[in-house]
């Protein structure tokens, strides 16, 4: 059975990792239980008996003989510069960064990309979370563009840095959200250029601010003395969808867009917030240097501007004139995605991760109930935020972030959510990325992508901490020091109710490399084998049959500890048997992120972010992030 390798832990480390929890049992026993699916599922056999009937099994295939739920043979790892899918499937290009959404868009130049004029008329760069919506007879793909590569979007001699306000506008236009109609014709899927639904939302698009933080002093700026309207949504990473058909875009590393030209004079709360959220007050151009050309991003002039980013933003894709709404009730942190589900009593539950080392997992429960066809405009305005505490005994608690328990007002909890969570002793996690809710069983999963500082020490012998100064000791759901592979934690809410305050949890998988580590936690859990190696689980979605699709954003060197993993990839997992099988590989250098399905479930849309050249346009051309379609050759269901 897997054991902690105590050879790598000093006595001090061991002591720290066990303190201050009551030490009822050896930590190795805790880990053994965490990774034992028997203990968690209990009724797994009964649960699994209907799996073959539910699954996508090709009759007569080797998978059918094994009663596997996968309709494909495992794809071997790949290391080349293109996309691969299993035999019996095909992939095709749908849209690349810079492809037109409107016929008046400028043409993409293979060496210089898109000029500033018209840069808001094309599909954005660095595709990430996406969802498909059906509006009447129309299918709309709504897609995040997380960040921008200054190095390929600006003249080479500028070394990725804007040299003018016009350069800043160009970079801003390639980020945010693209709404685009897609349609399948004889030539396959295409973006419907000039569809009235097509829309670009970027770093200057007008937004409404809603919820407990709206109008607060900390949100007021010289351009918006009311603190209720903002311009732009930033670092749009993962996505979500509401039961009423709106898109949720999730602002992740928003801190990186702000800087200062002179040392700013800050209120105490503002300075503390900047420290916790990583907003730098050093005089430095940073990655984007927006502040060098646009005072809105200069902390010495507008110290409240960063308080207006870091939220979940709701967008109605069916109305291209609608104003996106920043839903501050759902908290401010480095939002990865937003997985929503309706509780038995009709309240809306939204699970969310804060993707930074040692930050937390959150849940939000609406005050009001969702009624299909009813008014949904204020459903995300009021509710209760909770943060997760995981116990070693495989139980967990959602701790409410209330004024009484945090000493903060409702508005302060919404703006400085991380500090509120620290006040109630939440569990530090190994970078929570996507959360996904199983539609066929009352459970949810979260990718904990990695945390190479977990259990590591500073020179003075103290443990490394998160941004709050909380030591990142090993804990049961994050049991590995120097966790370079990542794991997926899952939980089942008490009473089958996602709104419940308690849950049971286990680890669905710990990624690892059993060909390098013959035993111990770095070998991974039993559902990791030489055939399905991967690291850094990140994107995740369930299909309608209850298979969980896992996308990776990890080390693709394919050597050393990562030997045999190949390029980043997408795998499918069976929640019941635990089996995981590789389905798709991305081109060298890329992250595979973003997954959704066509209305008829015969096409998957898969995002390829930051590929290396020569993908997709060949040698000498700029590499371009893109969305590909994946279909079965017999056009059968793919999820
Ligand atoms: Fe943008 Fe945490 O991934
Ligand atoms: Ca991600
Ligand atoms: Ca990631
Ligand atoms: Ca990324």
pLDDT value at residue 18: 47
Q: Binning pLDDT at 50, 70 and 90, where does residue 100 land? A: very high
Cβ atoms of 290 and 301 closer than 8 Å:
no
356 lines ligand 1 (CB under 6 A): no
How far apart are the CA of 624 and the centre of ligand 4, in A?
A: 14
336 lines ligand 1 (CB under 6 A): yes
C-alpha to C-alpha distance for 71 and 61, rounded to whole angstroms: 8
How far apart are the CA of 486 and the centre of ligand 2, in A?
A: 13
Side-chain half-sphere exposure of 543, counting CA atoms within 13 A? 27
Query: How many residues belong to the chain?
Result: 639
Question: pLDDT digits over 63-79, tens only?
Answer: 444 568 999 999 999 99
Q: Which atom of ligand 1 sits closest to the CA of residue 553? A: 3
How far apart are the CA of 553 and the centre of ligand 3, in A?
A: 5
Pick from 45-54, 149-158, 299-308: least confident = 45-54
Cα-to-chain-centroid distance, residue 534: 17
As a whole number, the mean pLDDT across the chain is 92
How far apart are the CA of 592 and the centre of ligand 3, in A?
A: 10
C-alpha to C-alpha distance for 444 and 209, rounded to whole angstroms: 29
355 lines ligand 1 (CB under 6 A): yes
Question: pLDDT digits over 43-65, tens only?
Answer: 333 333 333 333 333 444 444 44
Q: Give the closest residue to 362 by CA, choosing from 404, 405, 311, 438.
A: 311
Q: Binning pLDDT at 50, 70 and 90, where does residue 89 land? A: very high
Query: Of the bound ligands, which one is closest to the alpha carbon of residue 127?
Result: 4
How far apart are the CA of 332 and the centre of ligand 2, in A?
A: 17
210 lines ligand 1 (CB under 6 A): no
What protein residues have CB closer than 5 angstroms to ion ligand 2?
Answer: 433, 538
C-alpha to C-alpha distance for 475 and 170, rounded to whole angstroms: 44
Q: Binning pLDDT at 50, 70 and 90, where does residue 33 land? A: confident
Rounded mean pLDDT of 419-447? 98
pLDDT value at residue 9: 55
pLDDT over threshold 90, residue 162: yes
What protein residues have CB closer than 5 angstroms to ion ligand 3?
Answer: 538, 553
Contacts of 68 (CB under 8 A, 6+ apart): 55, 57, 574, 577, 579, 581
16 lines ligand 1 (CB under 6 A): no
Rounded mean pLDDT of 150-157? 89
> Concatenated DSSP letters for 289-310?
-GGGT-GGGBTTT-TTGGGG-S
pLDDT over threshold 70, residue 394: yes
Cβ atoms of 571 and 549 closer than 8 Å:
yes
Query: Of the bound ligands, which one is closest to the alpha carbon of residue 591?
Result: 4
How far apart are the CA of 537 and the centre of ligand 3, in A?
A: 8
Question: pLDDT digits over 190-227, tens only?
Answer: 999 999 999 999 999 999 999 999 999 999 999 999 99
C-alpha to C-alpha distance for 379 and 382, rounded to whole angstroms: 7
359 lines ligand 1 (CB under 6 A): no
- What are the boundaries of each domain within the chain? 6-592+602-632
How far apart are the CA of 591 and the centre of ligand 1, in A?
A: 11
Contacts of 637 (CB under 8 A, 6+ apart): 56, 601, 602
591 lines ligand 1 (CB under 6 A): no
Q: Which atom of ligand 1 sits closest to the CA of residue 336? A: 2
Question: pLDDT digits over 267-298, tens only?
Answer: 999 999 999 999 999 999 999 999 999 999 99
pLDDT value at residue 29: 82
How far apart are the CA of 431 and the centre of ligand 1, in A?
A: 9
How far apart are the CA of 593 and the centre of ligand 1, in A?
A: 9
Cβ atoms of 362 and 369 closer than 8 Å:
no
Q: Give the closest residue to 594 by CA, choosing from 336, 360, 363, 364.
A: 336
Contacts within 8 Å (CB) and 24+ apart, 134-138: 134/599, 135/197, 135/245, 135/317, 135/318, 138/181, 138/195, 138/197
Q: Which atom of ligand 1 sits closest to the CA of residue 238? A: 1
pLDDT value at residue 34: 83
237 lines ligand 1 (CB under 6 A): yes
Q: Which atom of ligand 1 sits closest to the CA of residue 334? A: 2
Cα-to-chain-centroid distance, residue 431: 10
Percentage of the chain modeled with pLDDT above 90: 88
Cβ atoms of 581 and 571 closer than 8 Å:
yes
Q: Give the closest residue to 384 by CA, choosing from 214, 528, 212.
A: 212
Pick from 23-32, 68-77, 563-572, 603-612: least confident = 23-32
| CB neighbours of residue 408 within 10 Å | 19
Q: Enter the tokens of residue 591.
A: 């992250």
C-alpha to C-alpha distance for 260 and 19, rounded to whole angstroms: 40
536 lines ligand 1 (CB under 6 A): no
How far apart are the CA of 553 and the centre of ligand 4, in A?
A: 7
Q: Give the closest residue to 511 by CA, choosing from 452, 447, 566, 433.
A: 447
Q: Which atom of ligand 1 sits closest to the CA of residue 253? A: 1
Q: Which atom of ligand 1 sits closest to the CA of residue 237? A: 1
Percentages helix, strand, coil for the chain, rounded to the nearest 5? 15, 30, 55
C-alpha to C-alpha distance for 494 and 325, rounded to whole angstroms: 32
Q: Which atom of ligand 1 sits closest to the CA of residue 433? A: 2
Q: Which atom of ligand 1 sits closest to the CA of residue 146? A: 1
443 lines ligand 1 (CB under 6 A): no
C-alpha to C-alpha distance for 347 and 367, rounded to whole angstroms: 7
Q: Give the closest residue to 227 by CA, choosing from 255, 207, 204.
A: 207
Give, using CA atoms, the residue closest to atom 1 of ligand 1: 237
> H or E element: which one contains 47?
helix 44-48
Cβ atoms of 513 and 568 closer than 8 Å:
no
> Which of the pair, 159 or 565, is modelled with greater confidence?
565
Rounded mean pLDDT of 287-313? 98
447 lines ligand 1 (CB under 6 A): no
Query: Of the bound ligands, which one is closest to the alpha carbon of residue 609?
Result: 4
Q: Which atom of ligand 1 sits closest to the CA of residue 353? A: 2
pLDDT over threshold 90, residue 457: yes
Contacts of 92 (CB under 8 A, 6+ apart): 188, 189, 628, 629, 631
pLDDT value at residue 50: 32
354 lines ligand 1 (CB under 6 A): no
pLDDT over threshold 80, residue 20: no
433 lines ligand 1 (CB under 6 A): yes
Q: Cα–Cα distances in Å, from 352 out to 128, 306, 505, 639?
A: 16, 20, 16, 24
Q: What are phi and psi of 414, to 5 degrees?
A: -70, -35
């Amino acid at each position: 059975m897997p054991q902690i390798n105590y050879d790598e832990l000093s006595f001090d480390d061991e002591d720290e990792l066990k303190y201050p929890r009551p030490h009822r049992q050896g930590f190795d026993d805790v880990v053994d239980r965490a990774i034992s699916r028997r203990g968690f599922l209990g009724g797994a056999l009964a649960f699994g008996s209907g799996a073959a009937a539910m699954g996508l099994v090709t009759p007569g295939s080797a998978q059918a003989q094994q009663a596997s739920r996968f309709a494909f043979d495992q794809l071997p790892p790949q290391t080349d510069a293109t996309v691969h899918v299993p035999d019996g499937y095909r992939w095709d290009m749908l849209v690349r960064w810079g492809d037109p959404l409107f016929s008046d868009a400028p043409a993409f130049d293979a060496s210089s990309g898109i000029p500033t004029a018209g840069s808001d008329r094309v599909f954005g760069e660095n595709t990430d979370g996406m969802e498909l919506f059906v509006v009447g007879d129309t299918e709309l793909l709504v897609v995040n563009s997380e960040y921008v590569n200054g190095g390929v979007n600006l003249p080479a001699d500028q070394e990725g840095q804007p040299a003018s306000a016009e350069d800043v506008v160009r970079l801003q236009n390639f980020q945010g959200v693209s709404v685009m109609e897609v349609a399948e014709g004889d030539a396959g899927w295409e973006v419907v250029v000039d569809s009235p639904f097509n829309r670009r939302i970027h770093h200057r698009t007008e937004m409404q601010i809603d919820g407990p933080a709206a109008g607060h002093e900390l949100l007021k700026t010289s351009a918006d003395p009311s603190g209720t309207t903002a311009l732009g949504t930033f670092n749009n990473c993962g996505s979500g969808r509401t039961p009423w058909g709106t898109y949720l875009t999730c602002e992740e590393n928003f801190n990186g867009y702000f800087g200062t030209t002179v040392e700013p004079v800050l209120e105490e709360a503002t300075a503390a917030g900047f420290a916790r959220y990583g907003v730098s007050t050093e005089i430095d151009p940073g990655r984007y240097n927006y502040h060098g050309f646009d005072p809105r991003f200069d902390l010495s002039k507008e110290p409240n501007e960063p308080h207006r980013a870091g939220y979940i933003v709701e967008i109605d894709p069916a109305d291209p004139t609608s104003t996106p709404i920043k839903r501050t009730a759902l908290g401010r942190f480095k939002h990865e995605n937003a997985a929503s589900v309706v509780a038995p009593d009709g309240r809306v539950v939204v699970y969310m991760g804060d993707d930074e080392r040692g930050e937390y997992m959150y849940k939000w429960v609406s005050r009001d109930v969702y009624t299909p066809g009813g008014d949904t405009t204020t459903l995300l305005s009021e509710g209760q935020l909770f943060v997760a505490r995981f116990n070693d005994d495989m139980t967990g608690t959602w701790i409410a972030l209330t004024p009484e328990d945090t000493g903060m007002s409702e508005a302060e909890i919404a703006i400085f959510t991380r500090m509120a969570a620290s006040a109630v002793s939440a569990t530090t996690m190994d970078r929570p990325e996507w959360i996904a809710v199983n539609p066929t069983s009352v459970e949810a999963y979260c990718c904990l992508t990695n945390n190479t500082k977990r259990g590591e020490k500073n020179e003075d012998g103290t443990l490394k901490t998160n941004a709050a100064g909380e030591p990142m000791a090993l804990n049961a759901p994050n049991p590995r020091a120097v966790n370079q592979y990542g794991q997926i934690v899952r939980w089942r809410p008490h009473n089958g109710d996602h709104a419940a305050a308690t849950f049971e949890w286990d680890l669905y998988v710990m990624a690892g490399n059993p060909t390098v580590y013959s035993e111990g936690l770095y070998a991974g859990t039993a559902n990791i084998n030489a055939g399905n190696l991967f690291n850094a689980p990140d994107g995740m979605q369930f299909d309608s049959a209850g298979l969980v699709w896992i996308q990776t954003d990890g080390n693709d060197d394919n050597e050393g500890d990562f030997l045999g993993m190949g390029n980043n990839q997408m795998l499918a997992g069976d929640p019941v048997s635990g089996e995981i099988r590789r389905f798709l590989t991305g081109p060298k250098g890329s992250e595979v992120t973003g997954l959704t399905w066509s209305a008829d479930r015969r096409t998957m849309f898969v995002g390829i972010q930051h590929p290396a050249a020569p993908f997709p346009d060949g040698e000498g051309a700029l590499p371009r992030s893109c969305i590909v379609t994946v279909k079965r050759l017999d056009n059968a269901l793919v999820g």
